[in-house]
Amino acid sequence: MNYVIQKPNDIDFETYSLEGLRVAVASGEVQLDWQAQNNGKEITVREALSTCYECGRKINSLDAACASCGAPFRAAQPSLDSTIAAASSALDFHVAREGKHFGPYTEIAARNYLADGRIKPDDLCWRPGMDTWLPAWLVLWEG
């Protein structure tokens, strides 16, 4: 699955895999409100990262495939142990928003910042052991 992105005021198009699109958003290369095309459908980048490319249903980024239609999201699923772990006092949570990186924070601090709004749910979060950057709400969610 590939997404075609045309940056505003640019005549060139860039093609990204789902994983590549996540990295491009985390680095600030691509913005969440830009338009993306996949299989002839035009959606925002934000929708591309939270919607199954095959059936259009909402997805969980931790799943390897869509629960509704079985469409695969990635070659390798990140371990739940690496994304949802017991509270850690290590300074290993990194956050990215609009091309800027923040942190590292402890897990407790990152959860508190998410709760009080300093970290936004759609900010991307990464810690050592994770395969890719994921939305903060997903990484810091306490089930």
Q: What is the pLDDT of residues 36-78, one digit of tens each?
A: 887 788 888 888 888 776 677 887 656 666 778 776 665 433 3
Report whether pLDDT(80) > 50. Answer: no
- At residue 83, the pLDDT reads 38
pLDDT of residue 77: 35
How many angstroms separate the CA atoms of 4 and 8, rounded?
13
Separation CA 58–CA 82 (nearest Å): 23
Least confident of 3-17, 70-84, 126-140: 70-84
Q: Please give the pLDDT value at position 40.
A: 81
Residue 43: what pLDDT?
85
Averaged confidence pLDDT in the chain: 77
Answer for the pair 83, 138: CB distance below 8 angstroms, yes or no: yes
Which single residue is written with the structure tokens 């709400």?
Answer: 137
Between 11 and 23, where is the model more confident?
11
Would you kindly state where each structural domain of the chain is located, as residue ranges?
1-76, 80-139
Confidence of residue 124 (pLDDT cuts 50, 70, 90): very high
CA angle 115, 107, 52 (to 5 degrees): 70
What is the Cα–Cα distance from 64 to 66, expressed in whole angstroms?
A: 7
pLDDT for residue 82: 40
φ and ψ of 17, to 5 deg: -75, 170
Whether the per-residue pLDDT at 84 is higher than 60: the answer is no
At residue 22, the pLDDT reads: 75
